[in-house]
Structure 1
Amino acid sequence: MRSAYWRSVVAVALCSTSVAPAMAEQVLGPVSGEVKFISHSASLGVGYTWGRGVLTYAGKQYPFEVSGASAAAIGFSSGDSVGKVYNLQRIEDFEGTYWALSGEATIGKGLSGSLMENNEGVRIRLDENRSGGRLAASPSRLSIRFIKSKAKAVSPVADHS
């Protein structure tokens, strides 16, 4: 199990908006993939989050679903998330339980950010565009599972460029 000190260092580094990308790579490990997904969160003290997305890793796309619980949040929101995956050595290491530190302030539209890490040392840093009404500053436990499908994966997040 990783030390509390290491988790604290990573959390402080990532929750700061002034962290330079080069410094983030030093702390988190090498960027090894990207994620895009749509999620929904409903909370009344304790909350639940669910959604679907796509991991892009080694030139291939892998659809996944996410679900989990959080504490210290109230309201409902949904939105698009994009992020970088760090320290992913094998595709098998992506699935599993992630612990996250996140903050959200959504009234109509808002922004959220999360740092997630699983037991294999895979880290995901997310930037989220949310809509709804939700306030959260909480730790959460999220499970990511690949969706088994013979169809080619397609990103569920529309390209707004």
Structure 2
Amino acid sequence: MRSASVRVVAALALCGSWSLTACAQSPLGPVTGEVSFHTRSADLGVGYTWGSGVLTYGGRTYPFSVKGASAAAVGYSSGDSIGKVYNLQRIEDFEGTFWALSGEATVGRGVSGQLMENDNGVRIRLDYTRSGARFAASPSRLTVRLLKPKAADTTGVPAANKAS
């Protein structure tokens, strides 16, 4: 009888701890979107980064451009980033300058991560793959601008089927 009681208490404790972790929110806030983008960085003391990507938010995709700067960097690298977006309440809050402390030591190919935040409280946790030869250790900023969607063709006829 006593061992049955111990098993029941143990089972309840395990279920309780599982439900707490399942309901726990990330310390970054709720995941509200995803990003993927490609960037290039060129540096000689002061660095410059540029590229473009796509934000997935609220079941829609939004193209955006990125550009930024860093200090204390030397080299060139390019790569692809994917990440989760946290605390995005309105699409307008995504635009702006994201700040991060970053470091990179890429020779050939490398994998890294970064956490960035903008003035609107939107956070992005990135995982990225880089290639090239670049060394950097500095505060960095990345300015994000949403791009206007391309104008839709109102005729309903695909461009390839139109008569010239």
- TM-score, L = length of structure 1: 0.76
1:123 aligns with 2:106: no
1:110 aligns with 2:134: no
Partner of 2:14: none
Partner of 1:132: 132
Q: Which amino acid aligns with 1:148?
A: K
Distance 1:91 1:109, change over 3 A: same
Distance 1:74 1:25, change over 3 A: farther
Count residues with an aligned counterpart: 131
3-state SS, counterpart of residue 114 of structure 1: strand
Structure 1 runs of 4+ off > 4 angstroms? none
1:25 Cα deviation (Å)?
A: 4.9
Q: Which amino acid aligns with 2:41?
A: S
1:27 aligns with 2:35: no
Distance 1:81 1:151, change over 3 A: farther
Structure 2 regions of 5+ residues with no counterpart?
A: 1-21, 153-164
Distance 1:147 1:100, change over 3 A: same
Structure 1 regions of 5+ residues with no counterpart?
A: 1-21, 153-161
In the TM superposition, 1:44-83 aligns within 5 A as 44-83=44-83
Question: Sequence identity of aligned pairs in percent?
Answer: 73
Task: Determine the C-alpha separation between the residues in 1 that align with 2:112 and 2:42.
Answer: 15
